[in-house]
Amino acid sequence: MKQIVFSIVIAVMSILLIISCIFLWNRYSKQNELETAVDCAMVMTMRGVEKGKGEIISEKKMQDRFISHLKKQLNKGNNGSKKRNLDVEIRFLESNPKMGVLSCEVRENFTYPSGKTGQLEYKRTILRERKKSVEILEVKLDGYKSYMVEKGKDFNPGDVIINGKKVRRWLNKNEQEIKFPVVVTEDMVLEPVV
């Protein structure tokens, strides 16, 4: 009799464990799907802002593009079947196309296999990557050649031979001797001393 009761308890616990795993897996897969959809929609929206071709995009238009991209992503994979009823709430925390910022909180209601409803939440912020502007300066070695050097970088021409003679030193416009390597902070014209 003890073995029968023990077997029934083990069977019930096994069934509860399997049901719990199904619920957890369902929630995990839905959360992963929501996060992937939001991430893709944000990247696609930001790419559209970057490739604006002079068009000034408004905050409202940016939000509308995000919502459109998000709905497409959430309905992806339905293989032409009727689009599922999306119960998604989007709250924009920040959306500024000029600064390249988009931040939002997305909540989605979903149904477990048992019919019980659950809620998922995901917050995400994306910033447009700005390209670092580089200032290029010219270093002209008079009678030899010119070099284009990034501002703030070291410059060293090495050994230079002009008219068969090795240049011993270089002078700037103020007749001061320049020791190499030198940090370039402005355009320079250097005169050779052989």
Site of tokens 């709905």: 71
What is d(CA 115, CA 23) in angstroms, rounded to the nearest whole number? 11
- Report whether pLDDT(123) > 90: yes
Give the residue, 164 or 130, on which the prediction is more confident. 164
Sign of CA dihedral 60, 66, 68, 70: negative
Burial state string for 118-150 with b = 16 or more CB within 10 A and e = fewer than 16: eebebeeebeeeeeeeeeebebebeeeeeeebe
Confidence (pTM): 0.56
**pLDDT at site 56:** 55
Confidence of residue 110 (pLDDT cuts 50, 70, 90): confident
Confidence of residue 78 (pLDDT cuts 50, 70, 90): low
- Report whether pLDDT(104) > 90: yes
pLDDT (mean) for 128-143:
76
- Report whether pLDDT(105) > 90: yes
What is d(CA 67, CA 179) in angstroms, rounded to the nearest whole number? 60
- Report whether pLDDT(107) > 80: yes
pLDDT (mean) for 63-87:
73
pLDDT (mean) for 42-66:
77
**pLDDT at site 83:** 46
Whole-number mean pLDDT of the chain?
A: 82
Query: Domain coordinates of the chain in residue numbers?
Result: 8-127, 136-193
pLDDT (mean) for 100-116:
85
